[in-house]
A and B are shown apart, each in its own frame.
Chain A
Amino acid sequence: MAFVTANWNPLGDAFYRKVELYEMGWSLKDGLRECLVAAAPYGGPIALLKEPQRRSPSARPQLEIYSSSGVTMASFVWKSGVVKQLGWTVCDDLLCIQEDGTILIYDLFGNFKRHFSMGNEVGQSQVLEAKVFHSPYGTGVAIVTGASRFTLATNIDDLKLRRLPEVPGLQGAPPCWAVLTQDRQSKVLVANGADIFILDNAVCTPVNPPGLSPQATSIVHMCVSFSYKYLALFTDSGHVWMGSTDLKEKLSEVDTKVRNTPKQMAWCRRPKSREPSVVIMWDRHLLVVGVCKDTIPYHLDDDSVLVPELDGVRIVNGTHHELLQEVPAACEEIFKIASMAPGALLLEALKEYEKESQKADEYLREIKEQNLLGEAVRQCVEAAGHEQEAETQKTLLRAASFGKCFLSNFSPEPQVCMCRDLRVLNAVRDYTVGIPLTHMQFRQMTVRVLIDRLVYRKLYPLAIEICRYLKTPEYQGVSRVLKHWACCKVQQKEEADENIARAISLKLGEAAGISYSEIATKAYECGRTELAIKLLEFEPRSGEQVPLLLKIKRSQLALSKAIESGDTDLVYTVVTYLKNEMNRGDFFMTLRNQPVALSLYRQFCKHQEQDTLKDLFNQDDDHQELGNFYVKASYQEKKLEARIGLLQSAVDEYNKAKNEFAAKLTEEEMRLLRFQRRLEEEKGECLLGFSLHDTISTLLSLGLHKHAEQLYKEFRVPDKRYWWLKLTALAEKEDWEELEKFAKSKKSPIGYLPFVEVCVKRQNKYEAKKYVSKVTLDQKVKAHLSVGDLEGAADAAIERRNEGEIGAVLSRCSPATDRALVERLNRAKATAAKK
């Protein structure tokens, strides 16, 4: 604790510190000499390719992958072409850029994933240099070819190669260049002698860094900050120019007094940096050059590599891994010698308290008097986040909670969060994991990405622990990790399908939101079809199972899963697929076993393929439906004979369906059609297609009574209906004579009230009255009333002594004109009521 400031160096108004992260676990014979090194930001993995230029087959170079702590993750002999550059993608995949423009992608464990090319032109002129860069659009690659032309791809997962315009006067490789992302576009900044150009898609623009010292004749090195906002240039005169990447503003220029070309250069700053700087590395010499023109020199024991980070620079060499950064404000306030900041006082108070000294109270009082206790707690919490040592973290957090005891209404949230975060950070910083994230990096990259990183490293138990500890929602956390685990598990070729499936189901169990179909797809891709099917059975979302099942040609299973999902569209999809895949017979048989699919397919056929519909019914021996089908079809026919032919088919089918009644009705229809045609020919009347009722009605109105009679008998029309029919037809024709004859022909099966009403409807009361007498007693009142004969109605009602009927008559009488009648009715009503 006492030595916290031991490794601090002042730079302008701030301090810089170099903290050791790890003593490297690897044992490299020659350190990093003659190695191609790529270290991923955010404490990512490190790839080494020793002596990349070695070409003889007897001694091929070795490619090794390590964690940031130097733990071996993969090591294999490089057998492909000459590698010009290594780089890491945002998904922790290793990019190996070869001289011929081919890029090979490996995973963390050295498994080959895929490859792609940077274009034909590149292949011919060879890659001279390459850079891997990151932007919001993913991981990009930029190369410069032997023809001094740049080619760039912003996102290797969505490869779109762009060949940038020519740089005037450039021959061979440029002395230095960098990629930057500006205005949602990736550009290349390139130096040629003292000239600088910006290359974008279309043009090559010369630019002038404002205030670049005139001694310089060429720019030999450049670097862009982590955020692409700042640029640093190193000239042959030993000057470092610092400014913004848009080259509009100069921040500073410093003479380093060193004229050698640096090996590497990197910005060292943090968001809200007070004293940003550029770190320049030569063979054994490291110089921190502040914008404030102050410098800090360091000696290097060994070949090293700088890894720029969001909030500092990591320095890796053959034995050690260090972090160089500006001391964060909170830490400075607390630990600076003789600091009187509230955080520093609080820490002192805690120390005194732990010594059981009353001085603790004095310190506390001092903070409280200034009303700064809250601030003090906040400082301690924040500083804890910036410290690497667990002991220091603990002390600071203890100080914070000590201070918090004397505060009311102070939100515990930040402190609780910090404790939680630190616990996670310390876990992943552990030597065995080797992800040396700072708190600021962790917040920037989010838990989600950290979990991803752990998953890529197959550190499943740790990832799950962290998810549970941070209470990440299951489907984002534990379930996702388990899915990756399972995807990895299915690739274990030596294990039996049975065992893997069981292991997976056991572990994943009821975990929420697991996509078994994704796991199964993975298994299928690894050539384990049987395993894929087994895994699919665990998938709760039937819909998800279908596409894969179709892909692995388990179409029958796909069909039943689609049906299970209830999604009819999915069923249709499978059915259409099956239809194209199978021969018709098999297809029909398949459908036959799946009634739901069958009826959906029938629906489809009804609108799209009538003939198929018939075949379907035929196959099922569904004679009833076939009959209906023919009936429907018959209406499509324009020719009578064709229509009758189809109706005959319908009759046959109905008979086969044992629906004799329908067959008989159909036969009758055929007979009717023939009759109508015959009559049409004889009389020229248009009758075809009429119902029997309408036909008879038309015949009657035409006076063709004989024919009507014939139909009545032949089709066994019930008497009642026939009488109604004839009655209505005759009345409509106003053929009263015929009507009367008809009424007398025999006793009416419908009574005579309809006669009365029909006549009244045609406004012929005279005719109507003829039938009133024939009406049966119980309807007499109604009959009298409808012809308007109140007297008659009254007589009938009184005779029947029916109260309701008397009432009905009464309601029709007007008291003024029918006074006598009303009285009579009222009397009758009274006597009827008495009974």
Chain B
Amino acid sequence: MAAHLSYGRVNLNILREAARKELREFLDKCAGSKAIVWDEYLTGPFGLIAQYSLLKEHEVEKMFTLKGGRVPPADVKNIIFFVRPRLELMDIIAENVISEEKLPAPREAHILFVPRRSLLCEQRLKEQGVLNSFTNIDEYILDLIPYDGDLLSMESESAFRECYLENDQTSLFHTAKGLMTLQALYGTIPQIFGKGECARHVANMMLRMKREFAGSQNQILPVFDTLLLLDRNVDLLTPLATQLTYEVLSCDSDQCVQNGFKFAQKKPGEGGKDLPTEPKKLQLNSAEELYAEIRDKNFNAVGAALSKKAKIISAAFEERHNAKTVGEIKNFVSQLPHMQAARSSLANHTSVAELIKDITTSESFFDNLTVEQEFMTGVDTDKINTYIEDCIAQKDPLIKILRLVCMQSVCNNGLKQKVLDYYKREILQTYGYEHILTLNNLEKVGLLKPQTTTRNNYPTIRKTLKLWMEDANEQNPNDISYVYSGYAPLSVRLTQVLARPGWRSIEEVLKMLPGPHFEERQQLPSGLHKKRQQGENRTTLVFFLGGVTYAEIAALRFLSQMEDGGTEYIIATTKLINGTSWVKSLMDRPEAQIL
């Protein structure tokens, strides 16, 4: 069912199984038939752990979405609320429970807090006078959710905003807890590297927690050699840039839903008219062979890959003409299902690729990309950019503008006050004054800032870390810069340098980037020191605090696959992001009352 999780270097299915076991245990605690009332936000993450069938096996008969009023009628013995520990949700639950108790035969109520129970919430329930109405109040520790064979996510939407804007480190606490769980299952990680304030904080918490559990020494042979914690604000540039891998483009488009996406399949109808049919949903993860092959490719290389695949498949079908003996025919027939699946998958991806191609070949996409690349190479970053000006004048989507302006600011280590003020005024006059709050937020997290020193250190960083490669080879990449057709993501470069030759070589640059960088070692019990086989790769867990983009994942996967790389990477993050969702999470939109 989740086989794709166990193919990778690290069997992430163990984690998923552990999570499923705990869920089953909780469900069995509430004997009898049950209805689950969901905090809507949780359904996505839970889908990655357990399908409806599992819930059904444990007598879950109905599912509802949490809302005010009362829980809809259903003939069940138990009602279980699956919620995040949020005060506003507690008020809704209280309302539900109070109206439930007025019924002649109230059902038993339970709460399952995800990912952690909270005294504050229980206090609130107590104030509302309903705390004693619950038979079970429990927590379901779900921090890191296996997303793919090499990818873990906490699916915490607002982590970046909370950490960097609101100084609320709740998600970091959960991160540390999640890493402890991970270590309990996969062994203590002997080396921890990190860069950034949040990384430091998480590492401190981990070391502290380890001391707290000191009694129970972990006897599991470590699977991970190294943990690298990276703050998102160390590399603000990468998520702003338009990503160019297949996976990203298919997800950046609006139709993307949680790890899968819908697209309207066009069928040539009669009379040459295109009739849109039922939107088709594709599950996208490494379980699908073709997708696993092409998702991390630069989009310019996808066409070639698809056509190559098409040739292989049709050649395979042609085989039947050569099949003479019964044995050969039997052999051919046995391969048919697999080949047919491959063919339908190819057809799907070809349609997706066509959809994307319409976008990528448009002039505006090209212009936008050109400006981004100019910024990244440091061309005229200190002046007001005409392209941005024109886009504002034509009232292009605000997020596009914000991404570009922020990018210019990041690449110039802040904008001249005059330039910054100009942009701000333009944005407010065009999109509305209320965005003054959003701009203020962007300034707070450092995406926008006035230049304080005349020295712009971005060029130094770019040169030292080789962030720009003139001759990026998109078809047969030899460097991670292929993911952005020239730009090598800073975060991934830091990861790459760490593996070889080590951070000592870039001390100067590390000092220019925000936050401290550090190294910690965790003592292993004797006997658990790994004896590395000749040629055996190291395994590094890279944790992006505040989100990671698909392009970065693609780049890391590329590094894992490099023959002489010597390191394989597992990626973990608070949330999978793209430029749009990321900037959106930082926006403040007061709902205006109608005057």
Task: Tell me if chain B binds chain A.
Answer: yes
- Contact segment of B280-288, B388-396, B461-469: B388-396
**In whole angstroms, what is the CA distance A65 to B499 when docked?**
69
Do B593 and A637 touch across chains, with their CB atoms under 8 A apart? yes
Does residue B379 face the partner (Cβ distance < 8 Å to A)? no
- Return the CB mask of A734-772 against B: 1 if under 8 Å, else 0: 000000000000000010000000000000000000000
User: Which chain A residues (474-525) contact chain B, with CB distance < 8 Å?
Assistant: 474-475, 479, 510, 512-513
Whether the pair B424, A665 counts as a contact (CB closer than 8 A) is yes
Q: Which of A640, A662, A694, A725 meets B595, CB within 8 Å?
A: A640
Q: Does A706 contact B (CB under 8 A)?
A: no
Is A572 located at the chain interface by the 8 A CB criterion?
yes
Q: Which residues of A contact B205 (CB under 8 A)?
A: 566
Q: Tell me, yes or no, whether B436 is within 8 Å of chain A by CB.
A: yes
Verify if A251 is at the interface (C-beta below 8 Å from B): no
Q: Which residue of B lies closest to A633 (CB)?
A: B590
Residues of A contacting B201 in the complex (Cβ-Cβ under 8 angstroms): 566
B432/A691 in contact, CB under 8 A:
yes
Q: Which residues from A are CB-within-8-Å of B134?
A: none
* B-side contacts of A717, CB under 8 Å: 429
Contact, CB under 8 Å: A636 / B173: no
Q: Does B428 contact A (CB under 8 A)?
A: yes
A692→B429 contact, CB < 8 A: yes
What's the A-B contact tally at a CB cutoff of 8 Å? 146
Q: Which residues of A contact B434 (CB under 8 A)?
A: 631, 635
Q: Which of A639-669 contact B (CB under 8 A)?
A: 639-640, 643, 661-662, 665-666, 668-669
Chain B: minimal CB distance from A569 (Å): 4
* Distance between Cα atoms of A666 and B168 in the complex (Å): 29
Instruction: Name which of B115-123, B147-155, B258-266, B531-539 contacts chain A.
Output: B115-123
- In this complex, what residue of B is CB-closest to A665? B428
B173 contact from A541, A568, A640, A721, Cβ within 8 A: A568
Closest chain B CB from A551 CB (angstroms): 15
Contact B433 A691 (CB under 8 A): yes
Is there a chain B Cβ closer than 8 Å to A473's Cβ? yes
Q: Which residues of A contact B390 (CB under 8 A)?
A: 720, 724, 750
**How far in angstroms is the closest Cβ of chain A from B455?**
24
CB-defined contacts of A694 to chain B, threshold 8 Å? 432
The stretch of A184-192, A333-341, A593-601, A815-823 that contacts the partner chain: A593-601
Total interface residues on A, CB under 8 Å, equals 64
A174 CA / B173 CA spacing, docked (Å): 64
Given A639-B595, A661-B421, A721-B392, are A607 and B88 also a contact pair (CB < 8 Å)?
A: yes
Query: Is B489 close to A, CB under 8 A?
Result: no
A715 in contact (CB, < 8 A): yes
Q: Which residues of chain A (650-700) have a CB below 8 Å from chain B?
A: 661-662, 665-666, 668-669, 672, 688-694
B117 and chain A: residue at smallest CB distance:
A569
Chain A nearest CB: distance from B434 CB in Å?
7
Cα distance A666–B167 in the bound complex, in angstroms: 27
CA distance A474 to B216 in the complex (A): 8
A573-624 interface (Cβ within 8 A of B): 573, 576, 595-596, 599-600, 602-604, 607-608, 624
Distance from A9 Cβ to chain B, minimum over Cβ atoms (Å): 50
Q: Is the CB of B169 within 8 A of A573?
A: no
Instruction: Output the least CB separation between B21 and chain A (Å).
Output: 24
Does B215 contact A569, Cβ atoms closer than 8 Å?
no
CA of A572 to CA of B85, assembled, Å: 12
Question: Is A570's CB within 8 Å of the partner chain B?
Answer: yes
On chain B, the residues within 8 Å of A693 by CB distance are: 395, 429-431
CB of A505 to closest CB in B, whole Å: 15
A114: interface (CB < 8 Å): no
- Known contacts A540-B208, A572-B119, A640-B595; is-contact A567 B214 (Cβ 8 Å): no
> In whole angstroms, what is the CA distance A541 to B213 when docked?
9
From B120, B212, B392, A541 is in contact (CB under 8 Å) with B212
Residues A669 and B433 in contact in the complex (CB < 8 Å), given A599-B166, A628-B440: yes
Give the distance to chain B from A675, nearest Cβ to Cβ, in Å: 13
For A474, give its contact among B170, B215, B424 (CB under 8 Å). B215
Q: What distance in Å separates the Cβ of B199 from its nearest Cβ neighbour in chain A? A: 13
CB pair B426 A599 closer than 8 Å: no
Q: DSSP class of B's interface residues: helix, strand, loop or mixed? A: helix
Q: Kindly identify, within residues 214 to 240 of chain B, every residue whose CB is under 8 Å from any CB belonging to chain A.
A: 214-217
Return chain A residues, CB-CB under 8 Å to B394.
Answer: 724, 728
Contacts of A603 in B (CB 8 A): 162, 166, 168
On whether the beta carbons of B430 and A566 are closer than 8 Å, the reply is no
Complex partner residue of A479 from B215, B392, B437, B591, CB under 8 angstroms = B215
Interface size on B, residues (CB 8 A): 55
Q: Is A257 on the interface with B (CB-CB < 8 A)?
A: no
A572-B119, A692-B430 known; A475-B593 Cβ under 8 A: no
A632 within 8 Å of B by Cβ?
A: yes
Give the residue name and chain of the B residue nearest to A696 (CB).
Answer: B429
Q: Which residues of A contact B588 (CB under 8 A)?
A: 632
Residues of A within 8 Å of B428, CB to CB, are: 665, 669, 691-692
In B462-503, the 8 Å CB interface with A consists of none
The smallest C-beta distance from A84 to any residue of chain B, in angstroms, reads 40
Q: Give A510's nearest chain B residue, CB to CB.
A: B214
A690 to B213, CA, bound (A): 58
Q: Are B436 and A566 in contact (CB under 8 A)?
A: no
Whole-angstrom CA separation of A543 from B172 in the bound complex: 16
Q: Is B1 part of the binding interface, using a Cβ–Cβ cutoff of 8 Å?
A: no
Distance in Å: Cβ of B436 to nearest Cβ of chain A: 6
Q: How far is the CB of B137 from chain A (nearest CB, A)?
A: 14
Residue B308, interface by CB 8 Å: no
B169 lies within 8 A of A596 (CB): yes
Bitwise, A87-122 to B at CB < 8 A (1) or not (0) is: 000000000000000000000000000000000000
Say whether B425 faces chain A, with CB atoms less than 8 Å apart. yes
* Interface flag for B211 (CB, 8 Å): yes
List chain A residues, Cβ under 8 A from B215.
473-475, 479, 512-513
Alpha-carbon gap, A603 to B169, bound state (A): 11
Minimum Cβ distance to chain A for residue B402 (Å): 15
Query: Bound complex: CA of A507 vs CA of B433, how far in Å?
Result: 66
Q: Report how far A513 CA is from B204 CA in the complex, Å.
A: 19
- Do A635 and B593 touch across chains, with their CB atoms under 8 A apart? yes
CA distance A724 to B388 in the complex (A): 13
| Cβ-neighbour of A724 out of B170, B214, B393 (below 8 A) | B393
- Interface residue? A718 (CB, 8 A): yes
How far is B434's CA from A211's CA once the two chains are assembled, in angstroms?
96
Find the A residue at minimum CB distance from B202: A566
Which B residues lie within 8 Å of A635 (CB)? 434, 590-593
- Whether a CB of chain A sits under 8 angstroms from the CB of B176 is yes
Known: A540-B212, A692-B430, A721-B389. A662 touches B168 (CB 8 A): no
Query: B214 — which chain A residues lie within 8 A by C-beta?
Result: 510, 512-513, 540
* Shortest Cβ gap from A596 to chain B (Å): 7
Contact residue among B168, B213, B216, B429 (Cβ-Cβ distance under 8 Å from A568): B168
> For the complex, is B594 an interface residue (Cβ under 8 Å from A)?
yes
What are the residues of chain B within 8 A of A692 when measuring CB–CB?
428-430
Contact status A569-B168, CB under 8 Å? no
**Residue of A479, A631, A689 touching B436 (CB-CB under 8 A):** A631
- A474–B215 Cα distance when bound, in Å, is 6
Given contacts A628-B440, A636-B593, whether A665 and B119 have CB atoms under 8 Å apart is no
Query: Is B211 in contact with A540, judged by CB distance below 8 angstroms?
Result: yes
How far apart are the CA atoms of A59 and B389 in the complex, in Å?
105
User: A628 contacts B595, CB within 8 Å?
Assistant: no
A475 touches B430 (CB 8 A): no
How far is B430's CA from A725's CA once the two chains are assembled, in angstroms? 10
When C-beta atoms are compared, the residue in chain B nearest to A539 turns out to be: B212
Query: Does A835 lie at the interface of the complex (its beta carbon under 8 Å from any beta carbon of B)?
Result: no
Extra contacts, 12 of them, besides A573-B123, A632-B437 (Cβ < 8 A), are: A540-B212, A540-B214, A564-B208, A566-B201, A566-B208, A628-B440, A636-B590, A638-B593, A638-B594, A661-B421, A662-B436, A721-B389
Instruction: Give me 14 A-to-B residue pairs in the complex whose CB atoms sit less than 8 angstroms apart, sorted by A's number.
Output: A512-B214, A540-B211, A566-B169, A569-B116, A596-B169, A600-B167, A603-B162, A608-B87, A632-B588, A635-B590, A638-B594, A666-B433, A718-B426, A724-B394
* The 5 nearest A-B residue pairs measured at CB: A513-B215, A475-B215, A724-B393, A599-B167, A635-B590
